[in-house]
Chains A and B, each alone.
Chain A
Amino acid sequence: MGVTFGKESASRRIVPGGTVSDGPERLLDGSAILTRLQAAVNWGRKYSFFLYPFVTACCGMEFMSVAGPKYDLDRFGAALPRFSPRQADLLMVVGTISHKQAPILVKVYNQMTEPKWVFAFGVCAVSGGFYNNYSVVQGIDTLIPVDVYVPGCPPRPEMVLDGLLKLQEKVAKERWSDWPRGAAPVTPMLKKQE
């Protein structure tokens, strides 16, 4: 059975699952071609993350292990770290983010091209961890959207790999309409100096 673009098909008003949103899908009516293409693209995306390691703290030690020979992130197609945000699509926030560091994290996030995902590696990135004080951001999700949270102080490599697989599952289910996400929803808050 080939795919036909006959009158019948185009006039169909059935929306499977009711998940069609704004975007190219509406134009093409959720036809078979588009969903298959989307699946193919997502398949490609999920096995070729180019990650940007935003390594700040202790979790960096486990990140080295994950990338190293024993646990080998390369098996999941996510081994090539890019130290330019323009070339990366997975922002790995590894470690504590202090208020001094926060503007830099947001800048790096905004510089990445879409589609992009954020991986909160370790409990400090997830929620601030046990550093509930004047200098630590209480979770990076107060600054930028986060896709996968991996708690642990630091998380074991197995947990990181599990988090990466979860992210792959998530990417596989994404739709064109999920992008772009736009810039991080933050504004400068530094008081004006008089």
Chain B
Amino acid sequence: METNVTIKKLSNRFPGAIIETHSHRGDDTAVVKKESILEICTFLRDDEALLYNFMMDLTVVDYLGREPRFEVVYHLFSLRHNRRVRIKARVSEADAIIDSIVPVWVGANWFEREAFDMYGITFKGHPEMRRILLYEGFEGHPLRKDYPIKKRQPLIGPIN
């Protein structure tokens, strides 16, 4: 089977940057170092045997209590080879910065803004790093596990 083609190619090309890999339930996954994310994404998009031309999804998972705390998760899809891959990069809370992949896929723009809005991860090199779903003046990042679900910050309210 050719299910692991992507992971094999990645490990050969970037032996130092791949931290771990797995294929749980058939989803090929590679955890990579955050410093080389831009390089790896460019490779995945341009390599003839891979051609991951779709950046399907970008999100963050907050593993509170683990170090590094955050995982930025990219889901890529190759139309030519009809194949998917998941790339993850770990980001610590103290240094919550990762390279933006907007130069590789222009569609990542809003996804990165959403990740910034909801988790407070800054994407270096992003053209417009500001809140997207919430409003200016909102403090904190609601999808972090330590943000209380009912902590409201209304813009307007009853006269006190």
Contact = CB atoms under 8 A, between A and B. Distances in A.
Direct contact between A and B judged by beta carbons closer than 8 A: yes
Interface of A: 99-100, 102-103, 106, 132-135, 137, 142-143, 185-191, 193
B49 to A, nearest CB: 44
A146 to B, nearest CB: 14
Interface of B: 134-135, 137, 139, 142, 147-160
A135 B142 contact: yes
B154 A134 contact: no
Nearest to A132: B150
Given A133-B150, A134-B149, A193 B137 contact: yes
Query: Which of A185, A189, A193 counts the most chain B CB atoms within 10 A?
Result: A189
Contacts of B142: 134-135
A190 to B, nearest CB: 5
Contacts of A185: 158-159
Nearest to A133: B149
A89 to B, nearest CB: 23
Query: Which of A106, A135, A185 counts the most chain B CB atoms within 10 A?
Result: A135
Nearest to B149: A133
Contact of A188 (B139, B150, B155): B155
A132 B149 CA distance: 8
B137 A100 contact: no
B141 to A, nearest CB: 11
Given A100-B135, A135-B142, A190 B149 contact: no
Contact of B158 (A132, A134, A135, A142): A142
Given A135-B134, A135-B142, A191-B137, A99 B159 contact: no
25 contacts: A100-B134, A100-B135, A102-B155, A102-B156, A103-B156, A106-B156, A134-B142, A134-B148, A134-B149, A134-B150, A134-B153, A137-B154, A143-B157, A143-B158, A186-B156, A186-B157, A186-B158, A186-B159, A188-B155, A188-B156, A189-B154, A189-B155, A189-B157, A191-B137, A193-B137
B147 A134 contact: yes
Nearest to A105: B156
A142 B158 CA distance: 7
A107 to B, nearest CB: 9
A134 B137 contact: no
Nearest to A137: B154
B145 to A, nearest CB: 13
A25 to B, nearest CB: 29
A42 to B, nearest CB: 30
Contacts of B154: 99, 102, 137, 189
Nearest to B142: A134
Nearest to A188: B156
The 6 A-B pairs with the shortest beta carbon distances in the complex, nearest first, are A189-B157, A103-B156, A190-B137, A99-B154, A100-B135, A134-B142
A133 to B, nearest CB: 5
A190 B149 CA distance: 19
